[in-house]
Amino acid sequence: MKTIFELCKPRSDVLEGRVRDEEFAADLSKVVNATAVPEYANPEQFFRYTYPTRGLKTLLETVCRRLSGKGGELNSVIRLDTQFGGGKTHSLIALVHAVRNGNDVPNIGEFMDGDLILRETPRIAALSGESIDILDGSTLEPGVKSHSLWGEMAYRLAGRDGFERVRKGDEHHIAPGSDTIMELFGDEPVLILIDEVSGYYHRGEERPTVFPRRAWE
């Protein structure tokens, strides 16, 4: 039987010490905003360095079936439940690339059925709880600052008009009603990815005037 050292060979850049520690930290918001390192930002490179685990393949198939209309019976809400460092952010990044650039990835067949690659890219709202400034607001564009996940989601789905629809609720950290959410979704496929929720609530908990505990327990 071969040892793990015989079966798994690090890439040359790792062996030569040319990879910085921070490059190993996956960041969903940087991928979406095109500011991530190539290993995460480039779809072809990302999938070349990613192992097609059974869980990842199931996730990609489930989501793409739902978005393509070929799996209407599938659950529309999926919760990724792993321990710290278990690959949640990596899986969300894989979803972004598969949905946006599936046709441009040479080895996409290792991860999902080619027939499930979407012909049109759905609207995507990829939200990272670590990047949202709860108190001072995160600048989305000049004159637009989001203070909550809801505000940024509205902006990512429907631009400035969508944000204005929920601006008051965003300022007071109050979730919009279901009718408003349906307006933001519209009649087109929508993919919403939420990462680092615990960090978002932890920072809010430290400011009771912003996130009263009774409001989210």
The domain spans of the chain are 25-121, 129-210
What is the reported pLDDT for 23? Answer: 58
Report the alpha-carbon distance of residue 129 to residue 204 in Å, rounded: 10
Is 64 exposed, middle or buried, given 0-12, 13-18 or 19+ CB atoms closer than 10 A? buried
Q: How confident is the model at residue 24, as a pLDDT?
A: 62
Rounded CA gap, 145 and 131, in Å?
12
Look up the pTM and report it. Answer: 0.78
Residue 214: the pLDDT is: 47
The span from the CA of 126 to the CA of 34, in Å, is 12
Residue 73 sits at φ, ψ, to 5 deg, of: -85, -10
Phi, psi of 113 (to 5 degrees): -65, 130
Distance, in Å, from the CA atom of 180 to the CA atom of 148, rounded to the nearest integer, reads: 16
CA distance 93 to 41: 9
pLDDT score, position 217 = 47
CA dist., res. 95 & res. 64, Å (int): 9
pLDDT for residue 110? 93
Residue 72: partners with Cβ closer than 8 Å, 6 or more residues away? 66
Residues in the chain: 217
Q: Are the CB atoms for 54 and 41 separated by under 8 Å?
A: no
Strand (E) or helix (H) holding 54: helix 54-68
Stretches in the chain below the pLDDT threshold 70: 13-14, 18-24, 71-74, 82-86, 204-217
What pLDDT is attached to residue 154? 95
pLDDT of residue 156: 92
177 CB neighbour count, 10 Å cutoff: 11
pLDDT of res. 212: 53
188's tokens: 């087109």
pLDDT value at position 84? Answer: 55
Predicted pLDDT of residue 216: 44
Q: Dihedral (C-alpha) 61, 67, 70, 74: value to the nearest 10 degrees?
A: 70
Q: What is the rounded distance in angstroms from the CA atom of residue 36 to the CA atom of residue 29?
A: 8
Find the radius of gyration of the CA atoms of the chain: 19
At 215 the pLDDT is: 46
